[in-house]
């Protein structure tokens, strides 16, 4: 399987992916405005209920802290923390590869590239058994479109044994995602409506 090029390399962007990314950003933003804050909170809690039974108690789980209109994984973070689960968050330092650093609610965070809220660089690195990833679009074959930098695809390549689950709004589903040789498919996608095994 090909390895995705680093984001700093010159690339010829896939026009289909660019169009889809922009369309899904707009669709997501409109959906979040339509449902309002209460609807977004209820959706995040519903998504947590769909995914939680699929996470083994002994697994180290990598999650993320939501940005802007992303479906918020915080109810899942709280549920995993309550059952004593080991967790990590993605971290970016300079142009290096994404690392997953140990974190729990209440632990300090710092601002990283791309507005990422991440653990301090002194936090221990973890090799997650399961990675919960945000995305902009997905299909039912496990293909996803992220934000275009390739950080998660490179992490998936580096951690081939980790189970990969996308977390996103149901409105971000499309019939087919165009994909490159380095795109690593997900094992499942979770929305506020359902758990989708890819």
Nearest CA among 69, 168, 22 for reference residue 14:
22
Model confidence at 171, in pLDDT bands (50, 70, 90)? Answer: very high
Residue 47 CA to residue 144 CA, distance in Å, equals: 18
- pLDDT for res 5: 45
Chain centroid to CA 97: 16
- pLDDT for res 4: 46
- pLDDT for res 13: 59
pLDDT digits (tens, 9 = 90+) for 49-94: 999 999 999 999 999 999 889 999 999 999 999 999 999 999 998 7
pLDDT digits (tens, 9 = 90+) for 26-40: 999 999 999 999 999
Q: What average pLDDT does this structure show over 134-159?
A: 90
Domains of the chain listed by start with CATH number = 15-197 (3.40.50.10420)
pLDDT digits (tens, 9 = 90+) for 100-133: 999 999 999 999 887 889 999 999 999 999 999 9
Q: Tell me the pTM.
A: 0.88
């Amino acid at each position: 399987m090909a390895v995705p090029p680093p984001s700093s390399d010159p690339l010829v962007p896939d026009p289909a992916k660019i169009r889809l990314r922009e369309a899904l950003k707009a669709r997501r933003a409109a959906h979040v405005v339509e449902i309002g804050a209460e609807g977004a909170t209820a959706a995040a809690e519903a998504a947590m209920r769909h995914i939680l039974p699929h996470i083994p108690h002994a697994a180290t789980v990598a999650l993320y802290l939501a940005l802007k209109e992303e479906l918020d994984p915080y109810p899942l973070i709280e549920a995993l923390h309550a059952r004593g689960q080991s967790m990590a968050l993605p971290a970016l330092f300079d142009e290096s590869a994404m690392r997953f650093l140990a974190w729990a609610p209440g632990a300090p965070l710092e601002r990283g590239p791309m507005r990422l809220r991440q653990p301090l660089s002194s936090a221990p690195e973890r090799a997650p058994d399961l990675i919960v990833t945000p995305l902009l679009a997905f299909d039912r074959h496990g293909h996803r479109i992220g934000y275009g930098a390739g950080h998660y695809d490179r992490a998936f390549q580096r951690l081939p044994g980790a189970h990969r689950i996308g977390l996103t709004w149901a409105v971000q589903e499309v019939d087919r995602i165009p994909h490159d040789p380095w795109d690593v498919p997900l094992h499942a996608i979770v929305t506020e409506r359902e758990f989708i095994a890819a």
